[in-house]
Amino acid sequence: MIRDVRIVFTAPTKLSSRIVQYVTRSHVSHVYIEYPSDLWGGRWAAEATRENGVRKVVARKARHDVCAEFYCKFDTQAGLAAVSKYLGEDYDYFGVGFFGLVIYVKRWFSAKLKHPLRSSKSQFCSEFVARFFKGSHLAGAEGWDPELSSPERLYRFCEKDTGNFQRVWSSP
């Protein structure tokens, strides 16, 4: 079992982050998984970014504009194994764009859209972490469509599920 795995939420001030926050009506715009590594030493982050796709990186490179952090109380091994196949894949530009469209169609017309061209490999940040939750078999996440998960949805999920998550830190 891997100990001290955390879900970290950030709210950078970049324009793209502010657009995500506006569209999703959220105070967070990015989420990633942080974990310790005995092999490499220190803390590492697994995340999906526009610049690098799905990657593992020393946590200090991902840790900026952090606004909340949750410790995972559950066994994370199955979830990490479930998302490991996405490491090295591209960022899901189409998926995140379609997700934004889904939000607006739902708001304006109270209608639902189906995703016609799903990408099985590329990921955006909240999709990657939602797959981690599903792979960990967390109650309440089993019926999720990861491609329709926002950072705010994941934040609220962690905040409410005190049996599986413990808030470590949050900004005022």
Q: Which domains does the chain have, with CATH numbers?
A: 6-170 (3.90.1720)
pLDDT (tens digit per residue) in 121-148: 567 888 999 999 999 999 999 999 888 7
Closest to 155 measured CA to CA, from 120, 117, 124, 125:
125
| Residue-wise pLDDT tens digits, 80-119 | 999 999 998 876 655 555 555 555 455 555 545 454 444 4
Mean pLDDT, residues 11-40? 78
3-state DSSP: the chain helix, strand, coil percent, rounded to 5? 40, 25, 40
Q: Which residues, in sequence order, are CB contacts of 101 under 8 Å at separation 6+?
A: 113
pLDDT of residue 163: 97
- Whether residue 33 contacts residue 39, with contact meaning beta carbons closer than 8 Å, is answered with no
pLDDT value of residue 122: 66
- Tokens for 135, please give them: 């792979």
pTM, whole model, 2 decimals?
Answer: 0.81
C-alpha dihedral, 81 to 83 to 85 to 89, nearest 10°: -160
Neighbours of 56 (CB within 10 A): 17
**Residue 50 has what pLDDT?**
80
